[in-house]
Chains A and B, each alone.
Chain A
Amino acid sequence: MVNSQAIRAWSAASAVLDPEVPAVTVADLGILRSVEMDEYGRAVARVTPTYSGCPAVLAIELAIEAALRDAGFDPVIERSLTPAWTTDWITDLGREKLRAYGIAPPVAGSSSKRALFGDVQVSCPRCSAKDTSKLSEFGSTACKAHYRCNSCLEPFDYFKCI
């Protein structure tokens, strides 16, 4: 019984879309870590921020709370800093959704030191060309950098690796 409740709570919370990148869910991004039923029958959602100063964190927490409440749960949101979020937690499905949305997903195994120091090849999310160049290390949100495809000439966001 409790278990099926937890599964239902997870499916409600995990359907919440990221407010900055509404193509992916908070579960796709690995921001929603778990949803469990506690001894008081409340649904406890554990959320981890991507960046310390990510301004979307509060919006994400409120959206998850609302989704759980709509599904008939008494929600509790817990913010968890450890273990620290890494781009490696973005699911395979999430990576595909990002690419389809026009954002290059982080290169796999991206939390390595090599990746952090920019020694990676980012493919264009539109034409898949490997010939791309970095325009700006910081982009429209804390989690993205800005790139340009040298083949189709389209600029695009790259989900930077941490």
Chain B
Amino acid sequence: MQKGLFSALLQLADDHLVLGHRLSEWCGHAPMLEEDLALPNIALDLIGQARSLYTYAGEIEGVGRDEDALAFCRIEREYQNLLICELPNGDFAQTILRQFYFSSFMLLFWEQAQNSSDATVAAVAGKAIKEAKYHRRHCGEWVIRLGDGTDESARRMQASCEILEPYLGELFNNSYGSLEISQSGVLPDRSLLQEPWLIDVMEVFQAANLNIPDLTHAHKGGREGRHTEAMGHLLAQLQYMQRSFPDMAW
């Protein structure tokens, strides 16, 4: 039970850290000032959620690893994030679409997790739910604006749908051990979130004139530490300071 919980928390934390890191790459590069504020702000929320999750995972593990040790001092194969979180940002359309998919999913996830049988998970969820709701709304509006916008924005949004489509199925997989965690009421069963998630996506996609994604083909491997080529490059930047100056602090 404890080992399963540790692993489930780590996976969730890795999703948030890695995606937060990706979003932070937009700082200073977004197509407009408002988005230059929005994307790093969302990154900040995700990294904040990751910190709470890592800290709790470290407590559950019980061998003295804190949030920094878990976030910075593991090798690539030990990260268990979803592949969609580590994919390069692509253009603004692709970043926003991924964020919409993720925030829509996490909103459903946290809504259930706030009633978790585990008090710490419930507390993290209670906080995260408000943030996810804001992200979901912001990104959903952009998906509609771009999908139903100019020929160029619609083309880019549809292209982003196609790039991200094979990475969506992994969102709904319960990894090894995590089904046990969901059966004990600690974290939601991911497979049950697919239907409400599709309903939410469909609502936005209809307004955006986009084709509903097909979830049948899904790349997998993130939960087992088998990553895309992009992950090593991401970690090289994320871990640079800890690798150069081990145990540094300021």
Interface residues of A (CB under 8 A from B): 49, 51-55, 81-85, 116-118, 135-140, 142, 146, 160, 162
Contacts and interface: CB of A to CB of B under 8 A. Distances in A.
B44 A53 contact: yes
Given A52-B128, A54-B48, A82-B119, A139 B37 contact: yes
Nearest to B40: A138
Interface of B: 33-34, 37-38, 41-49, 51-52, 119-120, 122-124, 126-131, 133-134, 137-138
Contacts of B127: 49, 51-52, 81-82, 84-85
B39 to A, nearest CB: 8
Interface of A is mostly: loop
A135 to B, nearest CB: 7
Minimum-distance CB pairs A-B, first 5? A53-B48, A52-B48, A82-B123, A53-B44, A81-B123
Contacts of A84: 123, 126-127, 129-130
Nearest to B44: A53
Nearest to B34: A136
A44 B128 CA distance: 26
15 contacts: A49-B127, A51-B44, A52-B49, A53-B47, A53-B51, A54-B44, A54-B48, A82-B122, A84-B129, A138-B41, A138-B42, A138-B138, A139-B37, A140-B37, A142-B45
Nearest to A48: B127
Given A136-B37, A137-B34, A137-B38, A83 B126 contact: yes
B57 to A, nearest CB: 15
A118 B133 CA distance: 12
A83 B133 CA distance: 17
B23 to A, nearest CB: 11
Contacts of A83: 126
Contacts of B38: 136-138
A117 B129 CA distance: 14
Contacts of A85: 127
Which of A55, A85, A142 has the most C-beta atoms of chain B within 10 angstroms of its own C-beta? A142
B102 to A, nearest CB: 15
A138 B127 CA distance: 18
Contacts of A117: 137
A162 B134 contact: yes
Contacts of B123: 81-82, 84
Contacts of B48: 49, 51-54
Nearest to A143: B41
A119 B66 CA distance: 41
Nearest to B137: A117
B146 to A, nearest CB: 16
A53 B46 contact: yes
Contacts of A82: 119, 122-123, 126-127
Contacts of B41: 138, 142
Contacts of A146: 34, 37
Nearest to A111: B130
Which of A53, A135, A146 has the most C-beta atoms of chain B within 10 angstroms of its own C-beta? A53
Given A52-B127, A136-B37, A142-B44, 5 more contacts: A51-B48, A52-B128, A82-B127, A85-B127, A162-B131
